């Protein structure tokens, strides 16, 4: 089934496009396997170690078909030119350029506005407003661990030797709370969660 595609890929992009159309018309189920097909066919014509990039040709075609003006503003005449540009610049390429007002035309809602009210989430928001606080006297604080750091890779975060800034993993606390706990700037704090505490006897 792939023999015609192998021959077309060796001939050029236009021949490959035609062969791809014929393949999909004859075998519609192949539409979901295009990345594999391109890797096997076009990928075989690419430099050694670059076979997987064959699938990018299909992505380049889809990008151009969806946003032709954007791709052309970036300097690529069509999907083939975009693919060649990507291959020539493996470290990255600007594949589309849009003026600011163009971004607003991409909003898919009929009224052209961004809808912040998501029906499926509204009951959750109501629940948050009426949810009882889980803070108790033994655990009066909520630890927020989602702070964005310069590096969040697990190994780097765990090993202070790898961290160039904040090697000790500073805990940020409001001055009033710190004063209430007797904590001074630069001091050490032990954080204990409820799960780490010994279970109380039920007697």
What pTM, to 2 d.p., does this model score?
Answer: 0.56
How far is 36 from 193, CA to CA, in rounded Å? 48
- How sure is the predictor about 139, in pLDDT bands with cuts at 50, 70 and 90? confident
pLDDT tens-digit profile of 6-50?
888 888 888 888 888 888 888 888 778 888 889 888 988 998 888
pLDDT tens-digit profile of 82-123?
999 999 998 899 999 999 988 888 888 888 888 888 888 888
The closest alpha carbon to 8, from 94, 18, 46, belongs to: 18
At 190, list the tokens.
């032990």
Residue boundaries of the structural domains of the chain:
3-104, 134-196
Residue-level pLDDT at 75: 96
How far is 193 from 155, CA to CA, in rounded Å? 23
């Amino acid at each position: 089934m792939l023999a015609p595609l192998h021959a077309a890929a060796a001939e050029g992009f236009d021949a490959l496009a035609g062969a791809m159309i014929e393949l999909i018309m004859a075998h519609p189920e192949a539409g979901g396997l295009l990345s594999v097909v391109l890797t096997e066919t076009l990928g075989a014509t690419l430099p050694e170690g670059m076979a997987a990039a064959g699938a990018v040709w299909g992505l380049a075609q889809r990008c151009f078909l969806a946003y032709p003006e954007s791709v052309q503003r970036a300097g690529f005449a069509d999907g083939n030119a975009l693919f060649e540009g990507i291959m020539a610049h493996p470290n990255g390429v600007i594949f589309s350029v849009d003026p600011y007002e163009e971004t607003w035309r991409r909003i898919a809602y009929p009224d052209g506005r961004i809808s912040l009210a998501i029906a499926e989430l509204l009951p959750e928001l109501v629940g948050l407003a009426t949810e009882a606080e889980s803070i108790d006297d033994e655990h009066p604080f909520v630890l927020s661990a989602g702070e964005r750091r310069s590096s969040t890779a697990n190994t780097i975060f765990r090993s202070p030797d790898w961290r160039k800034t904040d090697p000790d993993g500073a805990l940020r606390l409001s001055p009033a709370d710190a004063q209430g706990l007797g904590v001074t700037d630069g001091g050490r704090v032990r954080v204990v969660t409820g799960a780490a505490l010994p279970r109380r006897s039920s007697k």
